């Protein structure tokens, strides 16, 4: 396979006066750049402080133009499974198309959704910090801030 990998870890630190700069969790990530220009981002996040703890797992894939292809997200809060969701993007070059989501959680049961997009959007937010940086490359700033 002709691909490149980037691995990293982000420390979550507190800014509360009584916990200044102490660890409150972490995020590990793995980005794969495939030979055809597609990218896959994997992130595992654990927030240990404050209670309740939060664990989030994300896998997002984008095409060579940074448009999302699919995404899986799983969330655990206080060591209890809250839910998971799978997103599938069927978009044309302008960003028009359909986003589908299949999700399940104990409080929501099973939900299937389809949403038509109304044109180009910059990115699909998945919530890990590395996801914010990952999505910044999708924003065209050639004409100034947007």
- The C-alpha atoms of residue 80 and residue 13 are separated, in whole angstroms, by 23
Per-residue pLDDT of the chain (146 residues; tens, 9 = 90+): 789 999 999 999 988 899 899 999 999 999 999 999 999 999 999 999 888 999 999 999 999 888 899 999 999 999 999 999 999 999 888 888 999 999 999 999 999 999 999 876 667 888 899 988 888 877 778 888 76
Decide if 99 is inside a domain: yes
* pLDDT given at position 120: 67
Residue 86 belongs to some domain of the structure:
yes
Characterize 17-55 residue by residue with b for buried, 16 or more Cβ atoms within 10 angstroms of its Cβ, and e for exposed. Answer: eeeeeeebbebebebeeeeeebbbbbbbbbbeeeeeebb
pLDDT in the model for residue 65? 85
In a domain? residue 141: no
Quote the pLDDT of residue 28: 98
In a domain, 14, yes or no: yes
pLDDT score, position 7: 97
Residue 17 lies in a domain: yes
Residue 83, domain member (yes or no): yes
CB 119 within 8 A of CB 131: no
Residue 89's domain comprises: 4-136
- Residue at 81 is within a domain: yes
Quote the number of domains for the chain.
Answer: 1
In a domain, 34, yes or no: yes
């Amino acid at each position: 396979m002709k691909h490149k990998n980037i691995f990293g870890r982000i420390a979550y630190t507190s800014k509360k006066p009584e916990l200044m700069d102490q660890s409150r969790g972490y995020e590990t990530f793995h980005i794969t750049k495939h030979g055809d220009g597609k990218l896959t981002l994997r992130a595992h996040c654990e927030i240990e402080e404050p209670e309740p703890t939060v664990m989030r797992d994300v896998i997002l894939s984008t095409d060579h133009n940074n448009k999302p292809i699919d995404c899986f997200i799983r969330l655990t809060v206080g060591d209890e499974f809250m839910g998971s969701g799978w997103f599938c993007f069927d978009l044309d070059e302008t960003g028009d198309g359909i986003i589908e989501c299949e999700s399940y959680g104990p409080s929501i049961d099973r939900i299937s959704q389809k949403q038509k997009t109304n044109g180009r959007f910059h990115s699909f937010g998945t919530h890990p910090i590395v996801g914010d940086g990952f999505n910044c490359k999708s924003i065209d700033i050639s004409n100034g801030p947007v």
